A and B are shown apart, each in its own frame.
Chain A
Amino acid sequence: MQSLVPINKKQLHEREGSSSNPPSGGRGAFLLHLADTNLILAQRNAEWCGHGPILEQDIAITNISLDLLGQARNFYQYAAEVINREDIQNMKAPKASPFGGGLEGASEDTLAYLRTEREFKNLLITELPKSDWAQTILRQFLYSVYQYQLYEQLQKSDDRQLAAIAEKSIKEVAYHVKWSSEWVIRLGDGTDESHQRMLKALENLWPYTGEFFIPEDYENEDTIGFDLNSLKQPWLIRVDAILKEATLLSPSFGGGQGEAIFMHTGGKQGIHTEHMGFILAEMQYLQRMYPGAEW
């Protein structure tokens, strides 16, 4: 599967502050994928701030959002290094950042605030609206279990910095898994209303889980050191165990009844849902209105 590249590469690289689609080695793109996924999910979770069902859960979900944001920052900082290094290797002059202060080339800020929808490589599931509490905690659960396994593998990476980021982050993710899985059980095996909401959430979210395990070009075994698809079975087993305790039936990936569930893909390549534009419009609002603003 080809990554989306603009027809005119020259036009792309001349755009201020943008250094996406690194020409070679999937490392930069992979880091951006990891960073973007965490950033967009942090943004969605942050929408609960002040609106949580009860005070302690408002704090819990915003804490999780901050954790994810912190992880995103680590990935962005590293991605900026890698991209700038590749630019130099490919003899591209670093572009002056509109943030001023003598910053040149890509930085965590330019990557987060100046890229547009098609340059973001986040998983589609993170874009879905926060909807109700059931959908939020279920999405967190499905993603965090995957994230834990992914970071487990990344900890073993040859890339020391990537391994270090994974090692630090996995402690936070362990908590996210615990917190969200307990909520899945409480709501699944709760009242009639909570059970119905969980069923609806499961139906909404399941078609977005296939994307976790379909590797993009920049996620092949050479670049990341393991086969992404190998995470699928362990993920299914863990998720099924919790869903069973929550008295929820998990739709299979399409083996059983003969009718495969269609899985949405495209996020990792930059093809997003209709929600992405609104998310970025909100998140990048300040930079779009006042380019280069600092305070």
Chain B
Amino acid sequence: MNISNRKFYYGDIPGEGSGGDGLQSTSEKTSHGGGQGWPLWEVFIRSRQGLDHKHAGSLHAADAAMAMENARDVYTRRQEGISIWVVESLYIHASNPDEAASFYEPAADKVYRYPTFYDLPDEVKQM
């Protein structure tokens, strides 16, 4: 059994700014008192039969290793999955719901974008 543990710094990106406060050692981070200084992580789980990782929830953790273990403890208790992705929430960029009208509605009446005007030969089974 190989116990190997790396010390992770905030953002888990050695040498680079992390989009937040920049590089901080674990000691500075935890001085905020358990939980308050810890970043938020989004958790994605892929189930046994699945192909894609689905969003399962979020949690606070001090670093990536802890986030992974917490995700394992919290979100895979009932065999929900066999693979875990954790991403710090600040790295996820989401579309603005106010712009939903201009983002998505124009696609509604553009029927030429669908491949429905072809005659498929019988031999092509996968479509």
Secondary structure of the B contact surface, majority rule: mixed
> B65 interface residue, CB < 8 Å from A?
yes
**Interface presence of A148 (CB below 8 A):** yes
For chain A, which range describes its interface: under 10, 10 to 19, 20 to 34, or 35 or more residues?
20 to 34
Residues 62-101 of chain B, each 1 if its beta carbon lies under 8 Å from chain A, else 0: 1001100110111001000000000000000000000000
Q: Within the complex, what minimum Cβ distance (angstroms) separates A244 from chain B?
A: 11
Closest partner residue, chain A, to B72 (CB atom) = A175
Given known A-B contacts A56-B60, A60-B69, A63-B73, A185 and B5 have beta carbons under 8 A apart: yes
Q: A177-B3, A241-B3 are in contact. Are A186 and B61 (CB under 8 A)?
A: no
* Contact A148–B74 (Cβ < 8 Å): no
Interface segment out of the listed B13-21, B23-31, B48-56, B113-121:
B23-31
Question: Which residues of A are at the interface with B, using a C-beta cutoff of 8 A?
Answer: 53-57, 59-60, 63, 148, 152, 174-175, 177-179, 181-182, 185-186, 189-191, 194, 238, 241-242, 245
Q: Does B124 contact A (CB under 8 A)?
A: no
B residues near A (Cβ < 8 Å) are: 1, 3, 5, 7, 26-27, 30-31, 34-35, 59-62, 65-66, 69-70, 72-74, 77
Name the residue on B nearest A193 (C-beta): B31
Secondary structure call for the A interface: helix
Q: A56-B73, A56-B74 are in contact. List 13 more A-B contacts (CB 8 A).
A: A53-B35, A56-B59, A59-B70, A59-B73, A59-B74, A60-B70, A177-B1, A177-B3, A182-B69, A189-B7, A189-B26, A191-B31, A241-B3
Nearest 5 Cβ contacts at the A-B interface:
A56-B70, A60-B73, A54-B35, A53-B34, A59-B73
A179 touches B69 (CB 8 A): yes
> How far does the alpha carbon of A288 sit from the alpha carbon of B62 in the complex, in Å?
44
B69 touches A185 (CB 8 A): no
B30's partner among A174, A186, A242 (CB-CB below 8 A) is A186
Q: Is the CB of A182 within 8 A of B66?
A: yes
Establish whether residues A182 and B35, one from each chain, have CB atoms under 8 Å apart when the complex forms.
Answer: no
Q: Closest CB-CB distance, A248 to chain B, in whole Å?
A: 14
With A and B bound together, what is the CA distance between A53 and B32 in angstroms?
Answer: 14
